[in-house]
Amino acid sequence: MSRVSRPHARFDFHRSSRHEAHHTNPSLDIDDSMRDVLNVSDMRSLKQRGRQVPPLDGASTARELEELEYDETWEGSASEDHSVEESESTERKSARASFGSQRIGSVFLPLEMRNAVDRVVDDRQRPQLQENAKRLFHGDAHGRSDGWGSDYDPSYRSRRQAARHAEADGTAFATVALPSHYSAVSAVLHHVKVRLGNDWTLRHVLDWGSGAGSCIWAFLYAFQKGRTFGDSEPELSQAYIESYLAMDKRDGLTAMAKKLLKDANLGDTKIRWHRGFDDSEKIGRSMGRDTAAVSAFYLSSLPTPLARKELVKEMWSSGAEVLILIDHDTHAGFQSIAEARDFLLRMGRREFEDPDMVEKDLAGCHVVAPCPHDKSCPLLNACHERLVCSFSQRLQRPAFIRKTKNVRAGHEDVGYSYVVIRRGRRPEVATDIEDDKVTSSDTEIGASFDEQIRNEAFSWPRLVFPPIKNSGHVILDSCTPEGKIMRLTIPRSQGKQPYYDARKSSWGDIFPHEPKNPPQVRYEETSRKKGAAHQSSDIGKGNLKRKDSKVFSYDKLSSDLKDSKRRSRQERERRSHKD
């Protein structure tokens, strides 16, 4: 039965019968046997509601009809009971855990970008486009389950042959690699904006290895006027970036980037195209606060370590405050990123030690993401090539990708490694704050509290492998502020909020809670003179095994038994022939 209530109202029965309000109800003439039956029946039905059942006695239990005051707590208590049950069944992440797990979800290519690619793809040349795409991006060398990758490193016998394939390669790149690169760059930019906050304003971008323009699209869509992520469809004309310098020596990809942006409304953004970085483009440290230097999916394609080092040195000398490097999730891609990170941190330490450094506030540098420390990477000298620090971003495939790859799946997961470096000293947390007990739904995070969380997050562990979620505890293999890969175990007994946050954590999150028990060191960096990093045991959800590890297999046992029987039979036959 539903109840309808009105605040500050009184329940009145029919006013025309007010003179009958104090008349007692006439008692029923019921024999003793029927009275016993009714008492038992009422007791069974009403005890379930927690009510006291009065004895069925007409003279002593006569009730009167009277005006009843509306009890405002009556409906409130019912709603409170319902809300308590609901809160027990639907928990929420803590504010700090919500901050550490902010992500963009699946990436959809904006309409402007889809239309631009569709214009350069001719359906009449679709078979030739598919052949070029397979030649460049399909094969076992990419290490993907479906054979498709986004590594672009064509080899031609001469420059004339490369020039002859430039246009076809650019079209294949735009339909296969460009969307994948765009999704990964968008994920990194979203995370950088969350970590640096609203005080970081970006006006100028320097792009090394701009290719077909994946970073151009990602930056202009990420930094929009009066728009936050999740709003309506972004537009290039609404970007507040003033200048963009795109640098690349691959003429075919640069021509494709210009072709895609030919009819686009860029608003106030001015794009310049260069083949390399010139010293005239350098700016002072104080002027570089609103400048970012980026290189995406280009570093590992350079032929020599010296060429990679020179590119990173150019990015450092440009004067940009924030440096973003992104590459593939392969061993070569991760190694390029880790070596660039190590080189930039060494450059920063030299500035800390330089007494002649004038701009002390921008001296040195620190890692913004993904690392929670500025020490050496514990996975840089890993003994297993598959053991890399990488992350994944899901891309919803538009029609031109499915047609080019000839696949039916509507999405693909793009793997990438990255590092974000910012000039200046690493932010320090003044005091250790207790675990957050207030959920993000209960408290509106103000600017000061948001800034406090942002500074704390620089020392939170990063999940570099998918979490292992068991029934009573969650295992998190994380990169920690100590510069080690450590296994954090969050049991149910640690508390409701930490355990819930751990169960809802994902690969790539930063986790705010300290474990109840001391963490276990799974991987740590050792001296390069001694060789590879030290690994205590297998880590990660994949349980990567060493090459020298012995794995029991029933198939192998069966095969060995068959071989043994065959050898025994052959030996018996040989002996019988001799006899």
Q: Are 175 and 255 within one domain?
A: yes
CATH classification at residue 382? 3.40.50.150
Specify the pLDDT at position 430. Answer: 53
**What is the domain range of residue 565?**
460-573
Q: Which among 540, 536, 482 has a CA at the least distance from the CA of 514?
A: 482
Domain count, the chain: 2
Residue 45 lies in a domain: no
Q: Is residue 8 part of a domain?
A: no
Assess contact for 463 and 476: CB atoms under 8 A.
yes
* Backbone φ and ψ of 452, nearest 5°: -65, -45
Give the mean model confidence (pLDDT) for residues 130-154: 61
SS (H, E, C) 427-455: CCCCCCCCCCCCECCCCCCCHHHHHHHHH
Residues 315 and 403 in one domain: yes
Q: Say yes or no: 114 and 230 in one domain.
A: yes
Are 171 and 307 part of one and the same domain? Answer: yes
Confidence at residue 171, expressed as pLDDT on a 0 to 100 scale: 84
Of 400, 423, 446, the position where a domain reaches its end is: 423
- Do 497 and 403 sit in the same domain of this protein? no
Would you say residue 47 lies in a domain?
Answer: no
Q: What are the tens digits of pLDDT across the range 215-258?
A: 999 999 999 987 655 567 889 999 999 999 999 998 889 999 99
Are 412 and 528 in the same domain?
no
Residue 300 and residue 205 share a domain? yes
β-partners of residue 69 are 10
Between the CA of residue 159 and those of 128, 153, 220, 434, what are the distances in Å? 22, 14, 33, 62
Q: Are 460 and 476 in contact (CB under 8 A)?
A: no
Same domain for 404 and 514, yes or no, is no
- Radius of gyration of the CA atoms of the chain, in A: 34
Cα separation, 321 vs 290, in Å, equals 7
Element (H, E) at 245: strand 243-247
50 falls in which pLDDT band (50, 70, 90)? very low
Instruction: Look up the pTM and report it.
Output: 0.72
Give the range among 59-68, 431-440, 550-559, 569-578 with minimum mean pLDDT.
59-68
CB 523 within 8 A of CB 379: yes
Q: Establish if 392 belongs to a structural domain.
A: yes
**Cα–Cα nearest to 250, from 156, 365, 150, 166:** 166
Q: Is residue 578 part of a domain?
A: no
My answer on whether 415 and 465 are in the same domain is no
Give the whole-angstrom CA distance, residue 109 versus residue 218.
Answer: 10
* pLDDT: which is higher, 67 or 500: 500
- The Cα–Cα gap between 331 and 320 comes to 28
Note whether residue 437 is domain-resident.
no
Write out pLDDT tens, residues 419-456. 999 999 898 775 544 444 445 444 444 567 778 898 99
Tell me, what's the pLDDT at 446? 59
State whether 396 and 468 are in the same domain: no
Closest by CA to 474, choosing from 487, 461, 460, is: 487
Domain boundary among 369, 404, 423: 423
- What percent of the chain has pLDDT above 70? 66
pLDDT digits (tens, 9 = 90+) for 513-539: 999 999 988 866 654 444 445 555 455
- The pLDDT mean for the chain works out to 77
Q: Are residues 130 and 175 in the same domain?
A: yes
Residue 253: inside a domain: yes
The 10s digit of each residue's pLDDT in 177-197 is 899 999 999 999 999 999 998
Which of 263-277, 340-354, 373-387, 440-454 is predicted least confidently?
440-454
Asked if the structure places residue 154 within a domain, the reply is yes
Alpha-carbon distance values, 144 to 134, 147, 151, 412, 414 (Å) = 13, 5, 11, 11, 10
Asked if residue 112 and residue 242 are part of one domain, the reply reads: yes
